[in-house]
Amino acid sequence: MGAVWVGPGSPGDPPRVAAMDPGTGPRKERPKPREPAARLEKAKQRSAQQELKQRQRAEIYALNRVMTELEQQQFDSFCKQMQGSGE
Amino acid sequence: MTGMAGGGGRGSSRRAAAGKEGGRSRSAQPRAAGGGGSGGGSEEEEQEQQRDGGSLFLVNKSGFPMDGQTWERMWGHVERVHPDGSAVAAAIRSATRLARPSVPPVPNYKLSMSIPEWLQAIQTYMKMLQYNHTGTQFFEIRKTRPLSGLMETAKEMTRESLPIKCLEAVILGIYLTNGQPSVERFPISFKTHFSGNYFHHVVLGIYCNGRYGSLGMSRRSDLMDKPLTYRTLSDLIFDFEDSYKKYLHSVKKVKIGLYVPHEPHSFQPIEWKQLVLNVSKMMRTEVRKELEKFARDMRMKILKPSSAHSPMKERSRGKSLSPRRRQGSPQRRACRRDKSPAVLDKKGDLATLNEVGYQLRI
C-alpha cells in the first residue's frame, strides 16, 4: 500500500475569537478563562481520536493482509487435498 | 473464527499475547469520556457473537474509533484462529511505524460514463476497500432498518474506508448507485451447505436496460460482481449456482428482494426476501419458471413488499404477489433436483476430504 495519507480535514481548528458585545458602555475587561481552555481541550480530544482512528485503520489493514494470506494458503492446501483424494 | 474455520484445529483458549505493552496495541487506548463501550456484559457478547458457517461472527457496534473492548475482542479472535496468532498480533500492535493505507477516492459518476463503466468503478472501489478477513465486521448492518439509516451507514463506510464483507457491500452498492433511475437494484441472498454447515451470502442484483448483473464482495471472485450481460434473472442465478459448485457448496435457498427505491431518505426498509426458492427441492426448469415470473412482475413494478401483506414467511417455490396469479393454484409436488456429483454433504466423506476441518467460506 502507498504511504500517502489522504484523510479528512485537519483536526484542531484554531479557536475563534469571541465577538465583543456592542453598546455596553465603557468597555470592561471580561474575564474569559474557561471558554478557550474548554475549546482547546475539546480540540485536543478530537485530535487524539483522529490519531487513534488512523492508527486503528493502519493496524486493521496490516492485519487484513495477514489474514488474507492465511485464507489463501488454507484454500490452496484444501484444493490440493481435494485433488489428491480425487486421484 | 473459532471452531472449524481454519487454524488447524487449534483450541479455543486464548493465549496471552507477547509484547512490550503486555499485548496491548498502541491503538488500544480507551476512548475519550462520553464514548462508552457496550457495557461488556457476557450476555451482550453472546448476542453479538452469532454464528455463520459454524464460526463466530463478531460485529463492531462501538463506532469509530473502536472502543477498547471491541478492539481487544478482534485481536483475541485473531490469536485464536491464526496459527501464529500471538506473534502476528504482537508484531502489528507493537509496531512503532505502520504504513498508512491510502484512502481510495469515492467514485463520482460522470455523464460521459456508460452504466457498465459506472458499475465497474463502484466495484473497483469496493475491491480497493478489500474484503474483510479480520473476523470482525466493522460496520453494523441491521437489515430491518429504514433505508435512510442504512444509507447513513454507507456514508460512514466511505468516510472510515475500512475492509467490508458481503452485506456491507450490498448497502454500499445501493448508496453509490442511488440517483441512477435506469439502474434497478435488488438483493440476492444465498443459503448454501458445505461440510455440515450452512452459509449465508448476499450480493446486489442489478437490472438495467434489459440486462442483469451484480455488485458485491466475497472471498471468491466469481461469487460477487457479475457483468451486466445476463439476459434473464435465471441466467444470473444459475451462474452463481454453478460458481458455488466449484467450491463444493450446494445451494439450498435463493432469496430475491424487491427493487430498492432510489430515495436515500426513504423510511422504507429493504425488502430482502420477496421470493424464496428452495432450489435444492426443485428442478432447474421450475426454478427458471419461478424466477422469470418474478422478474417480469418486478419489471412491471406490480409487486408490493411481502411484509406489507402478511408476516414474512418462506414461500416455497415463490408465490409472487402478481394480481394475475390465480388464487389457490394446485400444490406442486416438490421435486428433487439432480444432485451435483461435486456436492459432498455426507458426514462420512468429511473425514477423508477435510481432515483439518477447513470451512470453505464464501
Q: Which of B79, B82, B75, B92 is nearest to B14 (CA)?
A: B79
Residue with cell 485464507: A71
Task: Please tell me the total number of residues recorded for chain A in this structure.
Answer: 87
Show the beta-strand stretches assigned E in B49-183.
50-52, 55-59, 136-137
Q: Do A52 and B27 touch (CB under 8 A)?
A: yes
Q: How far is CA B206 from CA A48, B213, B224, in A?
A: 42, 5, 12
The whole-angstrom separation of Cα B122 and Cα B320 is 31
pLDDT at B18 over 70: no
Greater model confidence, B302 or B43: B302
Taking the CA of residue B10 and the nearest CA in chain A, the distance in Å comes to 14
* Cis geometry, peptide bond prior to residue B65 (ω within 30 degrees of 0): yes
Find the mean pLDDT for residues B45-52: 50
Cβ neighbours of B132 in A, within 8 Å: 64
Q: Which residue has the cell 493465549?
A: B15
Asked if B102 and A5 come within 8 Å (Cβ–Cβ), the reply is: yes
Whole-angstrom Cα distance, residue B55 to residue B51? 5
The predicted model gives A6-27 an average pLDDT of 46
Which cell is B261 given? 427505491
Residues of A in contact with B32 (CB under 8 A): 45, 48-49
Tell me what pLDDT residue B313 has. 39
Size of interface A-B (CB pairs under 8 A): 108
- Give per-residue burial for A15-41: e unless 16+ CB within 10 Å, then b: eeeeeeeeeeeeeeeeeeeeeeeeeee
DSSP-derived 3-state class of residue B268: coil
Chain B window 339-358: which residues touch A at a Cβ cutoff of 8 Å? 352-355, 358
Among this protein's residues, is B166 annotated catalytic?
yes
Percent of all residues in chain B with a pLDDT value above 70, rounded to a whole number: 72
The residue type of B21 is E
Residue with the bigger pLDDT between B322 and B58: it is B58
The three cell numbers of residue B330 are 394446485
Complex ipTM value = 0.77
Confidence at B50, pLDDT banded by 50, 70, 90:
low
Judge: A4–B130 Cβ closer than 8 Å, yes or no. no
**Residue entry with cell 496459527:** B83
